[in-house]
């Protein structure tokens, strides 16, 4: 079991390092997706605002023109009634009413010129800006799909690593697995080789008795940083199936 303990723990370290890196990538990708969603909402709002500005300008033009037409109809009606009035006083009163209506219509004509100008401005802005916003929206949609696919791929990779970790954990004694689980939450490199007579991580001087124990046990624990220490000269490299296949092909 001692011969398997070191490579299996190192395998766990490698798997956990990969899992941590994947989770960081997944968090980054998820944040990018949220940013893209917000940007999409912004692009959609910009497109909507352009259309709404045009519709609002058209509505204003229609309202003012209807009011102008109503005043014109009043003018026509008053002029026609003047032809049938015989009383001078009544004629003067009706004529004053005509003047007021005419003045009001003339002022409204100036307003209509302005609202037509505003409408033309919004139509011009719509023609200039809309294609850019639509293209931006399409680009953001494509980015969102790409990032979601990337996140899905990372999730699948994480699932595979989690399964691999479960299998790797099965061959590690419960005692060492519990110690390793605690240590890996604190440091990235919980298992390290002995450096002469020192811990290669914190450089704590390992007592001779502890070094002697390494000849009998696969691992000792550093009394300073609590990492697992093994003798590098006793580590036997193990090739994976894939590595063996590559070696065979090279031969």
SS3 string, the chain, reads CHHHHHHHHHHHHHHHHHHHHHHHHHHHHHHHHHHHHHHHHHHHHHHHHHHHHHHHHHHHHHHHHHHHHHHHHHHHHHHHHHCCCCCHHHHHHHHHHHHHHHHHHHHHHHHHHHHHHHHHHHHHHHHHHHHHHHHHHHHHHHHHHHHHHHHHHHHHHHHHHHHHHHHHHHCCCHHHHHHHHHHHCCCCCCEEEEECCEECCCCCECCHHHHHHHHHCCCEECCCCCCEEECHHHCCCCCCHHHHHHHHHHC
Residue 209 lies in a domain: yes
More confident residue, 189 or 108: 108
Residue 124 lies in a domain: yes
Residue 7 lies in a domain: no
31 plus 146 within the same structural domain: yes
DSSP code for 85: -
Categorize the per-residue pLDDT at 234 as very low, low, confident or very high, splitting at 50, 70 and 90: low
Residue 2 lies in a domain: no
- Residues spanned by the domain of 235: 174-250
Give the residue from 154, 169, 184 where a domain finishes. Answer: 169
116 plus 209 within the same structural domain: no
Query: For 118-141, how does the pLDDT look when each residue is reduced to its tens digit (9 = 90+)?
Result: 999 999 999 999 999 999 999 999
99 plus 185 within the same structural domain: no
pLDDT, average across residues 18-39:
95
Least confident window among 50-54, 108-112, 204-208, 231-235: 231-235
What local confidence, expressed as pLDDT, does residue 186 receive?
84
Query: Is residue 247 scored above 50 in pLDDT?
Result: no
What local confidence, expressed as pLDDT, does residue 245 receive?
39
| Residue that has been written with the tokens 């026509």 in this structure | 76
| Phi, psi at 225, each rounded to 5° | -105, -10
3-state secondary structure of 115: helix
Categorize the per-residue pLDDT at 237 as very low, low, confident or very high, splitting at 50, 70 and 90: very low
Residue 48 lies in a domain: yes
Categorize the per-residue pLDDT at 107 as very low, low, confident or very high, splitting at 50, 70 and 90: very high
Give the residue from 145, 169, 193 where a domain finishes. Answer: 169
Residue 222 lies in a domain: yes
Query: For 36-72, how does the pLDDT look when each residue is reduced to its tens digit (9 = 90+)?
Result: 999 999 999 999 999 999 999 999 999 999 999 999 9
Categorize the per-residue pLDDT at 3 as very low, low, confident or very high, splitting at 50, 70 and 90: low
126 plus 152 within the same structural domain: yes
Residue 27 lies in a domain: yes
Categorize the per-residue pLDDT at 233 as very low, low, confident or very high, splitting at 50, 70 and 90: low
Report how far apart, in Å, the C-alpha atoms of 235 and of each of 3, 6, 200 are. Answer: 8, 7, 15
What local confidence, expressed as pLDDT, does residue 39 receive?
95
What local confidence, expressed as pLDDT, does residue 2 receive?
54
237 plus 211 within the same structural domain: yes
58 plus 78 within the same structural domain: yes
Q: What is the CATH number of the domain that holds 130?
A: 1.10.287.1490
Give the residue from 136, 169, 202 where a domain finishes. Answer: 169
Token duo for residue 50: 């352009």
Query: For 182-209, how does the pLDDT look when each residue is reduced to its tens digit (9 = 90+)?
Result: 888 888 889 989 988 899 999 999 888 8
The full length of the chain comes to: 251
């Amino acid at each position: 079991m001692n011969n398997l303990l070191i490579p299996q723990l190192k395998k766990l370290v490698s798997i956990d390092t990969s899992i941590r890196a994947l989770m960081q990538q997944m968090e980054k990708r998820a944040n990018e997706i949220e940013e893209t969603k917000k940007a999409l909402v912004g692009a959609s709002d910009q497109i909507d605002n352009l259309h709404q500005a045009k519709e609002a300008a058209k509505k204003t033009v229609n309202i003012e023109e209807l009011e102008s037409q109503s005043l014109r109809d009043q003018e026509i009606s008053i002029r026609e009634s003047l032809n049938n009035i015989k009383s001078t006083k009544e004629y003067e009163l009706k004529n004053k009413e005509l003047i007021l209506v005419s003045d009001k219509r003339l002022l409204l004509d100036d307003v209509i010129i302005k609202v037509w100008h505003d409408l033309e401005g919004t139509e011009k802005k719509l023609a200039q800006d809309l294609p850019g916003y639509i293209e931006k929206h399409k680009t953001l949609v494509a980015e969102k799909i790409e990032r979601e696919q990337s996140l899905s791929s990372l999730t699948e990779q994480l699932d595979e690593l989690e399964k691999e970790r479960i299998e790797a954990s099965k061959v590690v004694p419960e005692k060492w697995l519990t110690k390793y689980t605690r240590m890996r939450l604190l440091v990235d490199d919980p298992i390290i080789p002995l450096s002469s007579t020192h811990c290669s991580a914190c450089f704590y001087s390992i007592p001779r008795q502890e070094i002697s124990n390494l000849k009998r046990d696969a691992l000792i624990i550093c009394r300073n940083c609590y990492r697992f220490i093994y003798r590098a000269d006793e580590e036997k490299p193990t090739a994976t199936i894939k590595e063996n296949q590559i070696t065979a092909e090279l031969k």
